[in-house]
Amino acid sequence: MPVFAGTDLTCLRGDRLVFTGLDFRVGSGEALLLLGPNGSGKSSLLRIMAGLLRPFRGRLAWDDAAVADDPDRHRGRAHYVGHLDAVKPVLTATENLAFWAALGGAPVPEERARAALARLGVPHIAGVPGRYLSAGQKRRLNLARILAAPAPLWLLDEPTVALDRAAIGLLEAIIAEHRAGGGMVVVSTHTDIALPGAATLHLDDFTPAGPDDGDDPGDDAGDDDEDTRP
Amino acid sequence: MNRFLTLVGRDLRLALRQGSDATIAVMFFVLCVVLFPFGVGPEPNILARIAAGVIWVAALLASLLSLERLFQNDYEDGSLELLVLTPLPLEAVVLAKTLAHWLVTGVPLIVAAPLLAVLLNMEADGFGVLVLTLAVGTPVLSLIGAIGAALTLGARRGGVLLSLLILPLYIPVLIFGAGAIDAAILGLSPRPHILLLSGLLAGALPLAPWAGAAALRQAVE
């Protein structure tokens, strides 16, 4: 049974220490819910888990093998859904999705793409170009991406943004199904999302106490990423 | 390999649907060259003398024009993060995107160049070499440009910065490209120039994707 774990993780953005001494562990079929106020490092932690961001200190391990030793393999087993929907305006929903499915190694990408759209309750947008999709439809399209090509680890950064109640219900069912099949899920969220038996991680517990805490504008961690980009 | 072709196919499809990028580069190329007879006068001998250099400089600027967008769209809509996270090595991603860029912007330049050579009264001996040097040289321009495009990603006024960064690196390509044509027109062998140009391509082919990938990793952090 695979286990994805991190020990003593420290994240530094610019010259600000976001969190330090953070440990987590997700086993097969388990879910981890990341909670915390804006700017507490939920997005940064998910980016570290995905391999987009290198931790300042600490170790990520998959089944006790360090992820840093074989980053290519880690990329093949994780799906990351970030704040941006990565929808191309001139491609139809199916084309957008089939591209990611093919890159993820799905055998018949178009078929997988259509099935994934149907699973997220939007089969009717299959032939619609990306520029005509609403924010919620784009988000569903982005979430359909994780179904179009299989991967054991799902890293979802506020997946419920722009989703209506029905879609959140669908997402909960999809996550439950993924966990039942032995998959792992890490979700950051501000809204209520039902993840039965999920472990929770409060990121503000790992925020170092310091005099600079007060003057932080408290903007979202995702926006934070943009500010500190070189 | 399949994933590589999938990415090339997707970029080609995007370029053809958007249309503008592909046509702008070749239109700019043609207009740029057409301006010279107006500037230096319609004297056929002068035009014939400067034809090789003018066409090469215009090709260089035209290829630079569209380079800024090479990674920009993917960066802005979040696709780049996901491309970094696919099982396809990032070096292959850079190479695939550069190949698609060259097919869309470089190949039309090669096709248009002989027509412009006629316009500038270039000697017929130079035509074959012109096409050959462009065929070897424009991929080098795209490859070197890809490094610059990756480095300037997310920078304000990245386009200007890109030109300042990349144009000096284009100089060897320009020297050997235009030199080969001049040599052919003067009845000398263009072979050494073309071999040196091929050497640049052989060097850029492995180095540019490697450097570009390193810059992209930095950009998505």
- Domain positions in chain B: 2-220
Residue A35 lies in a domain: yes
B79 touches chain A (CB under 8 A): yes
Interface of B with A in 143-182 (CB under 8 A): 154
Q: Do B78 and A82 touch (CB under 8 A)?
A: yes
Count contacts between A and B (CB, < 8 Å). 71
Residue A7 lies in a domain: no
Structural domain containing residue A69? 20-227
Q: What is the mean pLDDT of residues A99-128?
A: 88
Q: Are B190 and B183 in contact (CB under 8 A)?
A: yes
A104 touches chain B (CB under 8 A): yes
Give the residue among A165, A80, B40, B93 at the shortest CA–CA distance from B48: B40
Chain B nearest C-alpha distance from A51 (Å): 8
- State residue A7 phi and psi, 5-degree precision: -130, 135
Looking at residue A80, what DSSP letter applies? E
B2 contacts in chain A (CB < 8 Å):
102
Give the residue among B71, B78, B60 at the shortest CA–CA distance from B149: B71
Q: Are B54 and B119 in contact (CB under 8 A)?
A: no
- Cα separation, B176 vs A92, in Å, equals 44
Q: How confident is the model at residue A222 (pLDDT cuts 50, 70, 90)?
A: very low
pLDDT at residue A227, rounded to an integer: 43
pLDDT at residue B137, rounded to an integer: 95
B218 contacts in chain A (CB < 8 Å):
230
pLDDT at residue B125, rounded to an integer: 84
B6 contacts in chain A (CB < 8 Å):
99, 102-103
> What interface predicted TM-score (ipTM) does this complex get?
0.85
pLDDT at residue B59, rounded to an integer: 93
- C-alpha distances out from residue A37 to A12, A41, A43, A48, B46, Å: 17, 9, 11, 18, 70
Give the number of domains in chain A: 1
- Structure tokens belonging to residue A26: 């997700």
Q: Do B87 and A87 touch (CB under 8 A)?
A: no
Q: How far is CA B41 from the centre of its chain?
A: 28
CATH number, position A211: 3.40.50.300
Tokens 């931790």 appear where?
A: A55
Q: Do A78 and B79 touch (CB under 8 A)?
A: no
**Chain segment A123-173, per-residue pLDDT in tens:** 899 889 999 999 999 999 999 999 888 889 999 999 888 888 888 999 999
Q: Are B88 and A99 in contact (CB under 8 A)?
A: no
- Cα separation, B191 vs A60, in Å, equals 54
B82 touches chain A (CB under 8 A): yes
Interface of B with A in 5-64 (CB under 8 A): 6-7, 10, 13-14, 17-18
Q: Do A84 and B78 touch (CB under 8 A)?
A: yes
Statement: residue A214 has pLDDT above 50: no
For the packed helices B127-151 and B191-220, what is the interaxial angle rounded to 10 degrees? 20
- Cα separation, A100 vs A96, in Å, equals 7
Reported pTM: 0.88
- Structure tokens belonging to residue B219: 């950009």
Give the closest of B86, B219, B220 to A104, CB-based. Answer: B86
A145 contacts in chain B (CB < 8 Å):
82
pLDDT at residue A223, rounded to an integer: 43
- Cα separation, A15 vs B123, in Å, equals 62
pLDDT < 70: residue spans in chain B:
none
Q: Are B175 and B111 in contact (CB under 8 A)?
A: no
- Cα separation, A156 vs B196, in Å, equals 50
Q: Are A21 and B55 in contact (CB under 8 A)?
A: no
Strands A3-13 and A78-81: unpaired
Q: How far is CA A18 from the centre of its chain?
A: 19
Q: Do A88 and B218 touch (CB under 8 A)?
A: no
- Cα separation, B71 vs B94, in Å, equals 9
Residue A11 lies in a domain: no
